Copies of this chain bind each other. A is one copy, B any other.
Amino acid sequence: MYTETPTTGTTAPVRASERAYRQLRGEILDGLLAPGTGLLEVEQAARIGVSRTPLRAAIARLIADGLVAGRTGRGFMVTEMSVDRIGELYEVRRALEEHAARIAAERRDPAVFEALRTQFLAAPELLRHGKAGLRRYYELIDEFDLALDVAVANPFLVGALAGVRTHLARIRRLARDNPDRLRSAAAEHLLIVDAVLAGDSSLAAHATHVHLHQSLTSVLATLRGSSAVPADPSPPPR
């Protein structure tokens, strides 16, 4: 089924299953598809504009991601995200990121982390520039994560971290960070970068621990205020 007009060459052959996956994943991460939402194959296939076959492939990937759970009887369900679940996620995140920081300190490319250091030094200034500055800040975090991935150079570890970050994106959406917290976070990141740069693996790991502790504390405090997330709603995923 080709609805594409034969324009100038670059007709990227995006598979229907890929489109469905990206759209559903995006909608789940953005909260458009609320946790607990029951979804039906036919209905979603029609909505997205693909047939059931590629849609099922997309669902399979989302289940592997832990974003949706197969429902025993009817359809499938967007997984819930409770306070308990957030705590558990951070537990795994600590294990993986502390280890990653430790390894990165041993294997890092100094030039990359020098560049990051400069940028994190400028971050507080960045946060005074409204929405654009905020977006730039989040890009910086992404660069930091990427630099860590490259430094650890371990596909298994990087893959596990990617899984954690997926769920983290959902949480970040719920707990809109306030500027004060972001300024502190930048300082914490700076310390991690410095430790990695100095090759101090122990400090890198412990600084990561501190950062994640502060992050979790902040998230939980925000959620306690808004109560946008149930305390303990559902059985665990998978």
Interface size of A by CB at 8 A reads 31
Q: Mask for A83-123, Cβ within 8 A of B = 1, else 0?
A: 00100110110111011100100000000000000000000
Q: Which of B57, B61, B100, B236 touches A155 (beta carbons < 8 Å)?
A: B236
**A161 nearest CB neighbor, chain B only:** B92
Q: List 14 A-B contacts (CB under 8 A).
A: A57-B57, A64-B64, A66-B156, A66-B159, A85-B156, A91-B154, A92-B99, A92-B154, A95-B96, A95-B98, A95-B99, A96-B96, A159-B237, A160-B163
**A98 nearest CB neighbor, chain B only:** B95
Give how many copies assemble into the complex.
2
Complex-state Cα separation, A99 to B92, whole angstroms: 8
Q: Knowing A60-B61, A95-B96, say if A159 contacts B238 (CB, 8 Å).
A: yes
Chain B CB within 10 A, most for which of A155, A159, A163: A155
A64 lies within 8 A of B66 (CB): no
Query: Is A53 close to B, CB under 8 A?
Result: yes
Residues of chain B with a CB closer than 8 A to A53's CB: 53
Residues of chain B with a CB closer than 8 A to A236's CB: 155
